[in-house]
Amino acid sequence: MPDQSSLPKSSSHGHTYWVIPDGYIPPDSSGSLESHESICVLNTGGEDATLEITIYFEDRDPLEHMQAEVPARRTKHIRTASLRAGEESIPSGVPYAITVSSNVPVIIQYSRLDTTQPELALMSVMAYPLA
């Protein structure tokens, strides 16, 4: 692993194509916290990242061409329930998968907060890089 102090501030890390095979927005919440999922993106480079997100389902056509921006040297947490393809959004309680492509290398992690019961669960995993 490189010494972080020796890296130029505009150094890009990560990949340009990521896969998240397990998506599921919990349909219910209990208590004060809302069940949700987030695509967590880190852009370490000196150029803004333009992301294109596609959602795949078991029994219907994908939701395509959803975009998000992550400024240079910033992080962004994108709640999947906020993504829109025209009038369509991801329904809760339905399994899905995600691909994320970016014009510059980024690092992607995926998190789910499930508050359907009082014993809430937080899952966070690295996405799978392909390019």
Q: How many domains does the chain have?
A: 1
Judge whether 2 lies within some domain: no
Any domain includes 82: yes
| The one-letter amino acid at 41 | V
Element at 61 (helix H, strand E)? none
Range of the domain at 98: 16-129
Query: pLDDT class for 92, splitting at 50, 70, 90?
Result: confident
Residue 120 near residue 29, CB atoms below 8 Å: no
Say if 1 falls within a structural domain: no
Task: Answer yes or no: is 4 within a domain.
Answer: no
Backbone angles phi, psi at 15, to 5 degrees: -140, 170
pLDDT digits (tens, 9 = 90+) for 29-62: 666 666 668 899 999 999 999 999 999 999 999 9
pLDDT of 1-19, one tens digit each? 556 565 556 688 999 999 9
Residue among 81, 23, 13 nearest 49 (CA): 13
CATH number of the domain residue 97 falls in: 2.60.290.11
Distances 29 to 3, 50, 117 between C-alpha atoms, Å: 43, 32, 7
